[in-house]
Amino acid sequence: MVIRLLKAVVEWYYARTIPARLATGDLCSIKSGDGFAIVKVLSVDRDVVHVRIYKEKFSQRPTCIDPNRLSLGAIDDPDGFGVGHLPLSRGTFGSWMPIYIQNDPATDDELVWVREWQKSKGGVWN
């Protein structure tokens, strides 16, 4: 009970502290294990942040990135893989400590997954 309450408080805090001006196409570095990864914001609404997580990992938080060098990879890649679309609560996304790097406009191929999620009334990762 106490752990659930603490988790709810942490998520509430992060939901209110993530960048208020988050926009479609924003590339952000996030905390990932003992290093950092890159996510692309596909869509943002009041409660949900849709992201794409790239497979590349960094030992230090990147401050600039070449979007052409980012990839999702494949599930059988020995160095890991990314995720094409992940709908997250704002609190969960905020807990990843995102830091804006730059904007790389989202493509129709990237946004198709957000539209499919909306049509299916999909769930959200908390």
pLDDT digits (tens, 9 = 90+) for 15-73: 555 556 789 999 999 999 889 999 999 999 888 999 999 999 999 999 999 999 999 99
Residue 70 placed within a domain: yes
Residue 33 placed within a domain: yes
| pLDDT, tens digit, 9 for 90 and up, residues 82-115 | 999 999 998 899 888 899 999 999 999 999 999 9
* pLDDT score of 21: 76
* pLDDT score of 11: 58
Total structural domains within the chain: 1
Sheet with 26-32, edge to edge strand ranges: 83-89, 48-58, 35-44, 26-32, 99-103
* pLDDT score of 25: 97
Surface-to-core class of residue 57, CB atoms within 10 Å of its CB (0-12 exposed, 13-18 middle, 19+ buried): middle
Which residue range is the domain that position 107 belongs to? 2-120
Nearest to 59 by CA among 90, 30, 84, 34: 34
Residue 125 placed within a domain: no
Residue 126 placed within a domain: no
Residue 43 placed within a domain: yes
